[in-house]
Amino acid sequence: MESLGVLLLNPMNAYLEQELDRRCRLVRLWESPPDRRADFVRAHAASIRAVVGNASHGVDAALIDALPALEIIASFSVGVDRIDLAKCRERGIRVTNTPDVLTDDVADLAVGLAIATLRKIPQADRYIRAGLWRNKGDFTLTTRFSGKRVGIIGLGRIGLAVAKRVEAFDCPVNYYQRTKQAYPSYTYYPTVVELAANSDVLVVACPLNAQTRHIVNREVLEALGPKGVLINIGRGPHVDEAELVAALVDGRLGGAGIDVFEDEPNVPEALFPLDNVVLVPHVGSATHETRNAMADLVLGNLEAHVSNKPLLTPVV
Ligand code: DGY
């Protein structure tokens, strides 16, 4: 695919960048100053047939319009909520993502965040580093994770992987999803509010779309209550972040483990002093193993596209 002009939106993975550089005609968007991006894109537009973005750097209608030769968008992410899919359909542009290869890592992180939040692992680590164990004695008591009722919003690939993991902790699994599917060992609730009211830990694991934006709102947080913990490994806009911050600050919600935020990389500073939250910077898939597998999927999809073979993981 030496003749394929590829626009890479940001430096997302060294192996991917190196392979794109070796196998295609790679254009790096970040090589142009932010205020000259439009001119830069215009200068390369005729040759760019592929765009590679990720969960943070999507492809909007303006970029699609600026690229008349665009044939394929290969996203280095499973979520494609930042790509204007309607516009792609209209223009006949193909879209691929990176499902499956990241499922285990994202599910591991969900469980890790739940345990870290309830058992206050980062706080305990800070306690030692601040010399407080020596000076003030034992760290505070925390809350058990094993056996807690885990509610999962969305039993797709990642939701099911979370369910499988928490079963090993003897946690009853409850779930909500838009189209009910029968899972004999899990309990279905027809609304997210009812799910939250019957869960100790609520995990957001559904894709982001118009129906799931702010699926965790004030009512859901109230239903989860002052002992409940929210885990978000989906997308920031799944949660009404202002309501989440207010509920945590007021003690109306027990705690939260958060990987994704509404306006990444900006995180509400009101969360920083809180002792009942664990914050991580959108790292669900961020292991060497998974990111390299995601890179291979992006490359495989581009190879398939140029050789007229079926795409490995088509979205559109
Ligand atoms: C994805 O691939 O959509 C994840 O959010 C990346 O961590």
Q: Give CA–CA dist 118/7, Å, rounded.
A: 43
Alpha carbon of 98 to ligand 1 centroid (Å):
9
pLDDT value at residue 181 = 83
Q: Which CATH architecture has domain 103-279?
A: 3-Layer(aba) Sandwich (3.40)
Phi, psi values for residue 304, rounded to 5°: -60, -40
Residue 8 Cα to ligand 1 middle (Å): 17
Q: Out of 25, 282, 291, 305, which one is annotated catalytic?
A: 282
**Residue nearest (by alpha carbon) to ligand 1 atom 4:** 77
So what's the pLDDT on residue 174? 98
Beta bridge partners of 94: 72
- Name the active-site residue from 44, 49, 94, 235: 235
ipTM score for this prediction: 0.94
Q: CATH 3.40.50.720 residue ranges in the chain?
A: 5-100+288-306, 103-279
- Specify the residue with its C-alpha closest to ligand 1, atom 2: 77
**For the chain, which ranges sit under pLDDT 50?**
none
- Does the annotation count 264 as an active-site position? yes
Quote the ligand 1 centre to 111 CA distance (angstroms).
16
Pocket test for ligand 1, best of 10, 75, 76, 77 (most atoms within 8 A of CB): 77
pLDDT of residue 302: 98
Name all residues whose Cβ lies below 6 A of ligand 1. Answer: 55, 77-79, 102, 282, 284-285
Alpha-carbon span 254 to 84, nearest angstrom: 36
Residues 179-226 pLDDT 10s: 878 899 999 999 999 999 999 999 999 999 999 999 999 999 999 999
The CA-atom distances, in angstroms, between 153 and each of 13, 25, 31, 68, 289 are 30, 41, 40, 39, 27
Query: Is residue 285 within 8 Å of residue 106, measured between CB atoms?
Result: yes
What DSSP state is assigned to residue 47? G
Q: Which atom, in ligand 1's list, is nearest to the CA of 282?
A: 7
Looking at residue 179, its pLDDT comes to: 85
- 22 C-alpha to center of ligand 1: Å? 25
Q: Indicate which atom in ligand 1 lies nearest the CA of residue 234.
A: 5
Give the Cα separation of 148 and 170 in Å (integer).
8
Q: Catalytic site residue 57? A: no
Q: Which ligand 1 atom is the nearest neighbour of the CA of 284?
A: 7
The one catalytic residue in 19, 71, 194, 264 is 264
Other beta carbons within 10 Å of 2: 8
Instruction: Enter the CATH code of domain 5-100+288-306.
Output: 3.40.50.720
Residue 294 Cα to ligand 1 midpoint, Å, equals 10
User: Is 44 annotated in the active site?
Assistant: no
Strands (DSSP E) found in 169-295: 173-176, 187-188, 201-204, 229-232, 255-258, 277-279
